[in-house]
Amino acid sequence: MPSEAADRQAGSRLLELVIVMDRLRRDCPWDREQTHESLARFLLEETYEALEAIDTGDSAHLCEELGDLLLQVFFHARIASERPDGFDVDDVAGGIVDKLVYRHPHVFAGLEVADADEVNRNWEALKAVEKRRSSALEGIPSALPALAYADKVLGRLARTAAPVDRAEATPTALGDRLLDLVREARTAGLDPEQELRDAVRRLVATA
- Tens of pLDDT, residues 42-58: 999 999 999 999 989 99
User: Cα–Cα distance between 50 and 52 in angstroms, integer?
Assistant: 5
CB neighbour class for 147 (10 Å; exposed up to 12, middle 13-18, buried from 19): buried
Whether residue 1 is predicted with pLDDT greater than 70 in this model: the reply is no
Residue from 98, 99, 77 nearest 88 by CA: 77
Domains assigned to the chain: 4-84 (1.10.287.1080), 88-132 (no CATH), 138-207 (no CATH)
CB neighbour class for 185 (10 Å; exposed up to 12, middle 13-18, buried from 19): buried
Residue from 193, 200, 199 nearest 47 by CA: 193
User: What is the model's pLDDT at position 2?
Assistant: 46
Does the predicted TM-score (pTM) go above 0.75? no
Instruction: State the Cα torsion 92-94-96-97 to the nearest 10°.
Output: 160
Across the chain, mean pLDDT equals 84
Do you know the residue count of the chain?
A: 207
- Dihedral over Cα of 49, 50, 55, 60: its sign: positive
User: What is the model's pLDDT at position 163?
Assistant: 54
